[in-house]
Amino acid sequence: MQDQAHSLVEEAAARFESIPSNQRLLISVAGIPGSGKTTLAAHVVRGLNEKLGGAVAAMVPMDGYHYTRAQLSAMPDPARAHYCRGAHWTFDPIGLAKLIVACKAPISETEPPTIYAASFDHAVKDPVENDIPIKPTQRILVFEGNYLSLSAPEEWTAVSALFDMRWFVEVDENLAKQRLAKRHVAAGISATLEDGVARAEGNDIPNGRFLLENRVPVDIVIESKNDLSFAAIV
């Protein structure tokens, strides 16, 4: 992981040097559930801050833009909506796009505003509005989430088009399934690994296949390996 993260840090830092001082560099890290995109994004952010000094880079997770449980309950088929939470249609791409557009706006020197992103509270299983501060000094934002490189429907196309750099983490489906099963057990969603696998096969894996079938072109494709190391393949 360290070698690939270092390569991505160098590429992002080089791109950052070319942008005006009142602009942010926005990077998306997408991938199917269980691909390791969150881990990779965190390593890149840490590497950028070490290289550039201070807290120039920050990670912004997409999880805060889940629809709430109340919104899922108001859908035509509430049971299906709750079971399928994590599918692209259980997120709010319009709200996410508004956040990204705000981050793309020039940073004012006279009244530099702090922008607030939503987070996700896993204890209550719902988003928390305005919970992640994005400071004017944080000029490299690494967004991570499954659908940041989704090409359809059009609300998601609008999201993917907003980024300056698009990265995509690929992973073997069976490896992703193993990771997801362990994650579901750890989160209390599934009682056993067998239940976790069934949950992954019923929702996460189909979501991942939909993403792979509807992905926009990206700048870099990264392969996630069994030991959570990464290797660039494009």
State the CB neighbour count (10 A cutoff) for residue 201.
14
Whole-prediction pTM: 0.92
Mean pLDDT for all residues in the chain: 93
State the CB neighbour count (10 A cutoff) for residue 89.
15
Q: What residues are paired with 166 via a beta bridge?
A: 28
Instruction: Report percent pLDDT > 70 for the chain.
Output: 95
pLDDT band at 233 (very low <50, low <70, confident <90, very high): very low
pLDDT band at 109 (very low <50, low <70, confident <90, very high): confident
Taking each helix axis as running N to C, give the angle between helix 205-213 and helix 173-186, from 0 to 180 degrees, rounded to the nearest 10: 140
Q: End-to-end alpha-carbon separation of the chain, Å? A: 16
Q: Which pLDDT value is given to residue 42?
A: 95
pLDDT tens readout for residues 14-52: 999 999 999 999 999 999 999 999 999 999 999 999 999
For residue 148 the two structure tokens come to 């940041």
Q: Which pLDDT value is given to residue 188?
A: 85
Q: Which pLDDT value is given to residue 4?
A: 77
Q: What residue ranges define each of the domains in the chain, with the CATH number in brackets?
A: 2-173+216-225 (3.40.50.300)
pLDDT tens readout for residues 153-199: 999 999 999 999 999 999 999 999 999 999 889 988 889 999 999 99
The residue-averaged pLDDT of 212-223 equals 96
Q: Which pLDDT value is given to residue 225?
A: 81
pLDDT band at 234 (very low <50, low <70, confident <90, very high): very low
What span, in angstroms and rounded, lies between the C-alpha atoms of 174 and 196? 13
